[in-house]
């Protein structure tokens, strides 16, 4: 490979909103009569392979997995006190959605902390619960790979940091009836949880 790339084959990376991936290959492919260099990335959480132009990777926020110190800092953050978050769930949802798209491990930990504790005050609307679940899965994935620990141990670590005094796990989801009563979910789309980009699903039939 003659051109310099930010990532190497077999390197683990984080694709914001999508999760931890692995660079399977770096290859050229013709696009609009030009040869474009792509990362071929396997995303374990969705069992999907995507192709991302090398020149677009930074713009899309694709980054290396954080160091062990950064992973521990994210765990510490979810134990800390924080300013109250907006009671308007739509405003709260948009703020957290923007953090999800930014995709740093601290951003993801911030979402998990705020929505977990909000759910103890009042059950979350359906879309917000989905966002919480996505953020928590992303946090679990990255910390698992960064600290090289079993997933079950990381899940327990996150819960311990969220509930240092051993409270039981809440179930922050509204019933469908409650959601219809006071949450206008139709104003948002589930697709907003997945960031639009120029990546393409790789063709398994290619060499």
What is the residue-level pLDDT of the chain in tens, covering all 207 positions? 445 678 999 999 999 888 899 999 999 998 888 899 999 999 988 899 999 999 999 999 999 999 999 999 999 999 988 877 788 899 999 999 999 988 899 999 999 999 999 998 889 999 999 999 999 999 999 999 999 999 999 999 999 999 875 555 544 444 333 333 344 444 555 544 544 444 444 444 444
Strand partners, 63: 14
The pLDDT of residue 81 is 83
- What does pTM read for this prediction? 0.75
Domain shared by 80 and 182, yes or no: yes
Does the residue 205 lie in any domain? no
Domain shared by 40 and 79, yes or no: no
Domain shared by 94 and 184, yes or no: yes
Domain shared by 77 and 53, yes or no: no
26: domain CATH number is: 2.40.10.170
The pLDDT of residue 165 is 59
Does the residue 19 lie in any domain? yes
CB proximity list for 75: less than 8 A, separation 6 or greater: 109, 143, 157, 158, 161
Q: Which domain holds residue 94?
A: 68-193
The pLDDT of residue 32 is 84
Domain shared by 85 and 135, yes or no: yes
* Nearest CA-CA partner of 86 in 78, 76, 96, 77: 96
Domain shared by 98 and 58, yes or no: no
Domain shared by 95 and 170, yes or no: yes
Does the residue 121 lie in any domain? yes
Does the residue 31 lie in any domain? yes
Q: Are 39 and 51 within 8 A, CB to CB?
A: yes
* Nearest CA-CA partner of 183 in 122, 99, 100, 135: 122
The total number of structural domains in the chain stands at 2
Domain shared by 161 and 73, yes or no: yes
Containing H/E element for 127?
helix 126-147
């Amino acid at each position: 490979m003659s051109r310099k790339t930010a990532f190497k084959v077999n390197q683990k990376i984080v694709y914001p909103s999508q999760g931890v991936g692995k660079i399977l290959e770096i290859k050229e492919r013709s696009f609009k009569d030009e040869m474009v260099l792509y990362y071929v990335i396997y995303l374990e959480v969705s069992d999907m392979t995507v192709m991302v132009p090398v020149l677009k990777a930074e713009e899309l926020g694709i980054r290396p997995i954080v160091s062990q110190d950064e992973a521990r800092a994210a765990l510490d953050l979810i134990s800390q006190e924080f300013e109250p978050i907006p009671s308007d769930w739509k405003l709260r949802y948009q703020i957290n959605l923007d953090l999800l798209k930014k995709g740093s491990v601290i951003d993801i930990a911030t979402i998990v902390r705020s929505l977990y504790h909000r759910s103890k005050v009042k059950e979350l609307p359906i879309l917000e619960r989905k966002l919480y679940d996505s953020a928590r899965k992303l946090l679990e994935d990255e910390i698992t790979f960064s600290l090289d620990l079993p997933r079950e141990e990381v899940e327990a670590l996150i819960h311990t940091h969220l509930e240092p005094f051993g409270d039981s796990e809440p179930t922050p989801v509204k019933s469908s009836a409650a959601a219809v009563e006071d949450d206008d979910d139709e104003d948002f789309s589930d697709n907003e949880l997945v960031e639009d980009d120029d990546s393409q699903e790789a063709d398994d039939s290619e060499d």
